Amino acid sequence: MQKVNVFDTTLRDGEQSAGVNLNTVEKVEIAKQLEKLGVDIMEAGFPASSKGDFEAVEKIAKTVRNSSVTGLARAYKQDIDAAWDALKHSAEPRIHIFLATSPIHMQYKLRKTPDEVAAIAVEAVKYAKQKFPLVQWSAEDATRSDKDFLVRIITEVIHAGANVINLPDTVGYTTPKEYGALYDYIQEHVPNIDKVILSAHCHDDLGMATANTLSAIEHGVQQVEGTINGIGERAGNVALEEVAVALHIRQDYYKKKTRLKLDEIKRTSQLVSKLTGMVVPGNKAVVGANAFAHEAGIHQDGVLKEASTYEIITPELVGFSSNRLVLGKHSGRHAFKERAAALGFDLGQEKLNEAFKAFKALTDKKKEVTDDDLFAILAEKQTDA
């Protein structure tokens, strides 16, 4: 089965989440866990952006051996030099240079013409290539760029030595069909595109980052970029755990896989959440506390008979110890009886029915009935004459 490389940018784009600031010790701890998770590439930071980021990238480059470490750089010599100084001791030094290509960004932010932008991109890639064996070039805001300008600039940066071409959906604007068509167009029109790795980088402003990334995979990208828990600028980046698990669960459809150790996902998610202070919503796909929780009686009954009735992912696959049957007002007798047995009660049918009634009465007052509540109800019925 074909492999898709995972490029994790939790420590760079993820750290750009409002209110998040990781120190070097915290970044190294996350980097080690990302290495354990098996990411192919990790973007450790933006070395030219601050002394702290430089130090963190340098430390991670010296520490991590089983993932390739990269750093972000604008298309300036001083950024490329800073990235080299931070990354030169890494196992496989690589740099990630970006430059905006959309009319909006070129006109208002860069104040440059398309010709000037193309020349700057080529010069930066050539300069980086004198130092780095691997150079990734990103067309910032690619999805709002002119396709034929993208064809031109990508052709030129490949000629200048770029090894990876990334077309970010910087503002989360594209749709799955449109993003797939962009990769088709680039592959049809750029000579030598088969000599480079094509990468996808999606933001989640319209809630389509996972769908867009999967579409890019269907349209031939060999690398996907994202973060753990989907943290990142504004509404965040694509959540890598969602993409990796979707590829795994729907192998029949995608026929592609990552080399992530899926059972390290939950641990990685918890560490990133703890160190960034960004709480994972309960209903977050794959890693949320409710991702394997069942409350409705019909669902609980189904899961107790055969888990696959309502679980397409086993909790163990992604590192949860088990699923969770939440006892609340929608729960039924089957789950209640199982929990009573697990708590060591064997009451007989009549007393169990009474206990179930008492439990139901309590659910009108409490959202979730705890084991302590159940214990009290069951113990009272057991001692009733």
Q: How wide is the angle at C-alpha 96 spanned by C-alphas 111 and 82, nearest 5°?
A: 85
Residue 98 binding target from ligand KIV, Zn ion, none, CB below 5 to 8 Å by type: ligand KIV
Our finding on whether 140 is near ligand KIV (CB under 6 A) is yes
The DSSP bridge partners found for residue 177 are: none
Q: Whose Cβ is closer to ligand KIV: residue 49's or residue 331's? A: 49
Number of C-beta neighbours around residue 203 at 10 A = 26
- In sequence order, which residues have a C-beta less than 8 Å from that of residue 186 and are 6 or more positions away? 147, 150, 151, 154, 165, 167, 193, 198
Q: Which is nearer to ligand KIV, 98 or 132 (CB)?
A: 98
Number of residues that bind Zn ion (CB under 5 A): 1
The DSSP element (H or E) to which 61 belongs, if any, is helix 51-63
Q: Which of residues 204-233 bind ligand KIV (CB under 6 A)?
A: none
By the rule CB under 6 A, 170 interacts with ligand KIV: yes
Pairing relation of β-strands 164-169 and 134-140?
parallel
- Integer Rg of the chain from CA: 25
The verdict on whether residue 13 carries a ligand-binding annotation is yes
Q: How far is CA 242 from CA 205, 224, 226, 228, 375, in A?
A: 16, 12, 10, 9, 37
Handedness of CA 286, 287, 288, 289 (dihedral sign): positive
105 binds ligand KIV (CB under 6 A): no
How many of the other CB atoms lie within 10 Å of CB of 79?
A: 22
The reply on whether position 258 binds ligand KIV by CB under 6 A is no
138 touches, from Zn ion, ligand KIV, none (C-beta below 5 to 8 Å by class): ligand KIV
Q: How near is the Cβ of 311 to ligand KIV at its closest, in Å?
A: 34
Q: Exactly one of 201, 219, 256, 266 binds ligand KIV (CB under 6 A); which one?
A: 201
**Would you call 338 exposed, middle or buried from its count of C-beta atoms within 10 A (0-12, 13-18, 19+)?**
middle
State the nearest-atom distance from the C-beta of 169 to ligand KIV, in Å.
Answer: 7
Site mask for ligand KIV (CB under 6 A), range 70-89, x = bound: --x-----------------
Q: Are 286 and 243 in contact (CB under 8 A)?
A: no
- Residue in 13, 26, 35, 295 binding Zn ion, rule: CB under 5 A: 13
Q: Measuring CA to CA, which residue among 45, 58, 42 is closest to residue 5?
A: 42
Q: Tokens in use for 262?
A: 């899926």
Residues 305-364 that bind ligand KIV (CB under 6 A): none
Site string for ligand KIV, 8-27 (x = CB under 6 A): -----x--------------
**Is the Cβ of residue 209 or residue 369 nearer to Zn ion in the bound state?**
209
217 and 256 in contact (C-beta within 8 Å)?
yes
Answer with the entry of Zn ion, ligand KIV, none that 269 interacts with (C-beta below 5 to 8 A by kind): none
**Closest CB to ligand KIV among 201 and 284?**
201
Alpha-carbon distance of 257 to 264, in angstroms, equals: 16
Q: Which is nearer to Zn ion, 8 or 13 (CB)?
A: 13
CB of 100 to ligand KIV, least distance (A): 8
Q: How many residues make contact with ligand KIV (CB under 6 A)?
A: 9
Contact partner at residue 140 from Zn ion, ligand KIV, none, CB < 5 to 8 Å by partner kind:
ligand KIV
Are 294 and 300 contacting, i.e. CB atoms less than 8 angstroms apart? yes
Instruction: Tell me the residue type at 201.
Output: H
Residue 189 is assigned to a ligand binding site: no
In the list 49, 70, 102, 138, the residue contacting ligand KIV (rule: CB under 6 A) is 138
User: What is the torsional sign of CA 140, 143, 148, 151?
Assistant: positive
Nearer to ligand KIV by C-beta: 201 or 339? 201
Whichever of 12 and 27 has its CB closer to ligand KIV, that residue is 12
Binding interface with Zn ion (CB under 5 A) = 13
In the annotated binding site for Mn(2+), the residues are 13, 201, 203, 237
Binding interface with ligand KIV (CB under 6 A) = 13, 72, 98, 138, 140, 168, 170, 201, 203
